[in-house]
Structure 1
């Protein structure tokens, strides 16, 4: 199994300093090293393996530690990585500058390894707890799928990526048919169980790591599908529709079937400066309305 222990990036232009810190930390953590600021920033921005903590020297050629820290803290993807300065600059004014730059701690050389390890452990523990809280803030408490906040983040990120790559981005918007009648007849406890089952089925239907779904609110669920045109979105939406039919959840108060069904709307566009993610959402919502108007338990799009 891959090593999932916290990753620490050590940045120092003196190899001996790196070796001492790396040997002390490798037993408990994964360690990467950099001997200059540019390399450190490149490692920190690598989305597949960002550091959980950075030990950063101040005095380095070309780009000193203060500048590296400033760049880290001004970049959204790296601003939450805790930085500890490890430096020979021991004046109070230097320490103040380091903390004002965004560092969480300041260790003065020569250091005691036991103290460094204790401080690293404390900040790693805090980082793990912070990450857990952030993750929980992006998850719908009832269904366990991403929530509206996470959807907004993903849609904005994929919109920017689609604009850079000039690739189509698609949205599927779905709504459980006659869900209010379901709640009124079976009770809100049963309604909650229905929502959980629907969310699980929709989530399990997605087959690409880049695809994501979220609870949009109430009984509405949305999928964001990068690199997908309208035809591809319609195919996925039909799989969504079928996956809910296959659950065969009884719904005596539905006007379209004796079991729970969903209606869906699809939209796709190539992002540009003349368009917005909100326009894509609005178009998908209009197609969902079309599906409902045409009888429900179906997929609506500009092609149908």
Structure 2
């Protein structure tokens, strides 16, 4: 899906730069306007703009009228201007402008694009705001919603803890220090004692004057601390900076856990984390199954077409596995062999696996239109350890090959 970005700028050079930078980013479609009137016409014709980048001084609107036009349409708005005016900057931020950026370097243009990209990422991020003051809580919620975050509210630390326990998708907690029942400092300590919340980004807040409070919060496990009252820009910068730091950590972790060719989990991750996934699923009502898949006659195809084509075939099967089993844990076991851990019984899984085989049969891969099949072994027996289940599934895989390949064996 492409997101339309309204760009309003009278300088041809700046327009060209912004168009180039936005076009390089997948999912963005720049719509260029050189004056207020053109922007007004575009906004009247289309109601599906995602965000706007605007200059304040336009030939037919020299006093920033474009900002009011864009904000009236409820569009996130980034101001990119040639002049820095601190009073005007504060006025625009209070109006609801996302950012006020001056055209003083190449970095300025990159920063504009970064803000727009962040909007796209934020729509899938849940943030919990724990604050007993309704006024402060609603103010923080408003700031976060400007940046398209999904915001959840809690009136005290105890309620925040319950929200976090109930919702695994909350990525960030912004918590005040002085709250009833459980204060912010105690809340942070309780969360960091639980390994489940090790990746939760936590920012502490307080209006109290104790200078040691920030260090106390951070030493207890918070990622950052802000003293109230704070500026809009400082708040947004701290939120984004901490999220990006966590995302970088996740990227590094993924590099260690993912197979470089297929982007499925690697064998090391399978044996470290797969066992936990299997045990958790086995203890649940639905049960657990282990599936071993192997590409049929892969060596002969690899020898005939070369290693580059062989890699493409492995990538293609991995992609088909991702599409067919999005809710299961899939990994590359080694070579042309894959392992899938499913949180359902073996009998339920057989139909899904046969559908997968049928999909694979219909594919014609690479320019040579190579056809592929897989042999599959399944262990869905209750009471087996993870290693036992892999062994049984592997035995069934070789039985499938002995019986003629391109089939599923086991339950």
Q: What is the TM-score of this pair, normalised by structure 1?
A: 0.79
By relative contact order (CA 8 Å, sep 6+), the higher-ranking structure is 1
For residue 268 of structure 1, what is the aligned residue in structure 2?
A: 380
Shift in Å, 1:162 = 3.2
For residue 255 of structure 1, what is the aligned residue in structure 2?
A: none
Aligned mates of 1:240, 1:23 — CA distance in 2: 46
For residue 406 of structure 2, what is the aligned residue in structure 1?
A: 297
Aligned mates of 2:385, 2:249 — CA distance in 1: 32
- SS in structure 2 of the partner of residue 269 of structure 1: coil
Aligned mates of 1:289, 1:79 — CA distance in 2: 41
For residue 232 of structure 1, what is the aligned residue in structure 2?
A: 348
- Provide, for residues 214-235 of structure 1, a one-character-per-residue CA deviation record: whole Å limited to 9, x for no partner: 322210112222222x333333
Shift in Å, 1:146 = 4.1
> Relative to structure 1, is the Cα distance of residues 282 and 102 closer, same or farther in structure 2, using a 3 angstrom cutoff?
same
> Relative to structure 1, is the Cα distance of residues 262 and 37 closer, same or farther in structure 2, using a 3 angstrom cutoff?
same
Q: What is the TM-score of this pair, normalised by structure 2?
A: 0.61
> Relative to structure 1, is the Cα distance of residues 264 and 27 closer, same or farther in structure 2, using a 3 angstrom cutoff?
same
> Relative to structure 1, is the Cα distance of residues 73 and 241 closer, same or farther in structure 2, using a 3 angstrom cutoff?
same
- Provide, for residues 132-180 of structure 1, a one-character-per-residue CA deviation record: whole Å limited to 9, x for no partner: 44455554332344444564535522531430x3332112201123323
Mapping 1:94-243, distance limit 5 Å? 94-135=213-254, 137-148=256-267, 151-152=270-271, 153=273, 156-163=276-283, 165-206=284-325, 209-228=326-345, 230-243=346-359
- Corresponding residue pairs, total: 287
Computing the radius of gyration from Cα coordinates, the structure with the larger value is 2
- SS in structure 2 of the partner of residue 143 of structure 1: coil
> Relative to structure 1, is the Cα distance of residues 103 and 300 closer, same or farther in structure 2, using a 3 angstrom cutoff?
same
- SS in structure 2 of the partner of residue 45 of structure 1: helix
Q: Unaligned regions of 5+ residues in structure 2, if any? A: 2-119
Alpha-carbon RMSD across the aligned residues, in angstroms, is: 3.1
Q: Unaligned regions of 5+ residues in structure 1, if any? A: 251-257
Aligned mates of 2:140, 2:280 — CA distance in 1: 39
For residue 35 of structure 1, what is the aligned residue in structure 2?
A: 155
For residue 91 of structure 1, what is the aligned residue in structure 2?
A: 210
Aligned mates of 2:239, 2:351 — CA distance in 1: 49
